[in-house]
Structure 1
């Protein structure tokens, strides 16, 4: 069985950056992605626009040219896909990692297709896989979704959007403009301050004029087939409803991290343990890259400030490999 220098779990922008860096340094690497190239970006809303400008989304100094300063989802898909294909990166798509075990000096990575052996592992799985659930009756009804794709689907429907961040605000505005009757349900006193600065005034104005009905300091108590029950400062309220978009954020797969043996902080942040200079975790040979490093602080790391992780990790792996070779020679 072939032994890889590095197996990268996750084929998003940072996983791709790690693959590029490994290839540049002559390492034998493999990227494993459970879906298509940049799976998480593929699952973003169709009309989604990034907060970051295109140059801050570039990896390996490969220019990212977009029509506007802040690119949209389709432009990002094109950019990262071309990087993968042009550079002929070694990536296995639609393959899910099921288990990782340490065997002597190497790791055995079992997927739903085969088994790989690697000296080092980079976990770059992001945080878009697991939604923060409401944990209320009716959340599993077919009308409820934790992901939002296309506003056309909700035209002429009564739609409840739960959340106050970028994903919820974008969905509320787009669905409203496609003819949906939108109700925004926010746990706090206002729309989130992290909402894109050019979008926040839009949602505030739509609420103020009554185009979008908003309930602040309110929570969902129950979701029924044709209504939704919410708790407001004025008491419980029943709202007619066809669809619910529960866009309350997402979290990393902490279960997977703990199965790898990676230590997490005991507080609600669940910060994974790793070396700030090498990105190596408490498990020798396992590294973290990208937004997963922030635990529940999902607003801490982005593509633009975690691109450097690829260089840091590969540098550490090369240094460790060189030291090991010298020791063997001695």
Structure 2
């Protein structure tokens, strides 16, 4: 296959990647959006019954109205909306196609993917952070019973479930599996309390379920070993062996720093490993390579959301227009 030229190559087909494609089209720049998964893959991997924090208008991109039937939109509504955005703007998406290598070739970047080779004047990385979960790093974590992603409560009916973590996702999983018939729900939490940032309307619910004993919680504790039928838990007072059918490790996710470093993007030495970029243009320390969306926060994955990073697309394309980036 011969090399395909484009003005802007966008890595990541999430909402911010789509927004970048829209701004490129508005500016008369050719574009391609590449993602190793499906359209808005992170949202697709959210729990089936998830509801967004934001109202629908805060999730809109490209001037396409997002009408929700609920006070806050649901995952199915968001999937439908972003499909409609991609279709109405006729965005050039290449899905289920991974980026294998990025090399500088004179004034262009050569991007090799699992299905072809592209030459681009500029690259925008909008990959988010949902692909790489934090691991427990304990024996038995590779067993099929251990899940780092949660979709639906049905498989856990009449099962003994251990939920690891104390943030929003962990609390949601614990409450939903409890209410959908799990035989036993146990939370294993490193901290001394439920995360203060848990949704204010959910926090009393989980605290009351723990207080009444419907959901068991071990605070300042950690799983040390997983076997097909048990988990071993270290608590401040003792080490326990608990019967267990599934471990739902809602331990959070992290960006692919190795990919950023392979391109030459400098990673900060701060606690959040914040990638280097110009806050006015979103350009990294590598010429014509930009960051957009959640990836900008490094490990501080709660710094950027759809609603406050949509503007990155305009900032990047404005900078490229000033540079007169046009493919020959």
The two structures share one fold, judged by TM-score above 0.5: yes
Q: 1:285 to 1:322 in 2, by over 3 A?
A: closer
Cα deviations across residues 23-45 of structure 1 (Å, max 9, x unaligned)?
11110111011111101110111
| Residues 54-65 of structure 1 mapped to structure 2, 5 A cutoff | 54-65=56-67
Residue 129 of structure 1 corresponds to: 131
| Residues 287-326 of structure 1 mapped to structure 2, 5 A cutoff | 287-321=290-324
Residue 164 of structure 2 corresponds to: 162
Partner-residue secondary structure (3-state), 2:46: coil
1:249 and 2:252 are equivalent in the alignment: yes
Partner-residue secondary structure (3-state), 2:142: coil
Q: Is the 8 A contact 2:230 2:242 kept in 1?
A: yes
Residue 241 of structure 2 corresponds to: 238
Partner-residue secondary structure (3-state), 1:167: helix
| Residues 71-110 of structure 1 mapped to structure 2, 5 A cutoff | 71-110=73-112
**Structure 1 consecutive aligned stretches of length 4 or more whose deviation exceeds 2 Å:** 322-325
Unaligned runs of at least 5 residues, structure 1 = 326-330
Deviation at 1:63, TM superposition (A): 1.7
Structure 1: how far apart are the matches of 2:203 and 2:111?
Answer: 44
Structure 2: how far apart are the matches of 1:252 and 1:120?
Answer: 21
Cα deviations across residues 140-175 of structure 1 (Å, max 9, x unaligned)?
111101111110010000000001111111111110
| Residues 114-153 of structure 1 mapped to structure 2, 5 A cutoff | 114-153=116-155
Cα deviations across residues 21-73 of structure 1 (Å, max 9, x unaligned)?
11111101110111111011101110011111111111133221111221110
Structure 2: how far apart are the matches of 1:62 and 1:235?
Answer: 56
Structure 2: how far apart are the matches of 1:193 and 1:16?
Answer: 33
Q: Is the 8 A contact 2:6 2:119 kept in 1?
A: yes
Q: Is the 8 A contact 2:147 2:248 kept in 1?
A: yes
Counterpart among 114, 124, 138 of residue 112 in structure 1:
114
Residue 46 of structure 2 corresponds to: 44
Residue 32 of structure 1 corresponds to: 34
Structure 1: how far apart are the matches of 2:46 and 2:136?
Answer: 21
Task: Name whichever of 123-132 and 191-200 sits farther off.
Answer: 191-200
Cα deviations across residues 294-322 of structure 1 (Å, max 9, x unaligned)?
00000111111100000000000111117
Residue 202 of structure 1 corresponds to: 205
1:183 and 2:183 are equivalent in the alignment: no
1:220 and 2:233 are equivalent in the alignment: no
Residue 17 of structure 1 corresponds to: 19
Partner-residue secondary structure (3-state), 2:271: coil
Unaligned runs of at least 5 residues, structure 2 = none
Task: Name whichever of 140-149 and 261-270 sits farther off.
Answer: 261-270
Partner-residue secondary structure (3-state), 1:217: coil
Partner-residue secondary structure (3-state), 1:321: coil
TM-score (normalizing by structure 1):
0.96
Counterpart among 264, 268, 271 of residue 268 in structure 1:
271
Q: CA RMSD for the aligned pairs?
A: 1.4
Structure 2: how far apart are the matches of 1:58 and 1:280?
Answer: 24
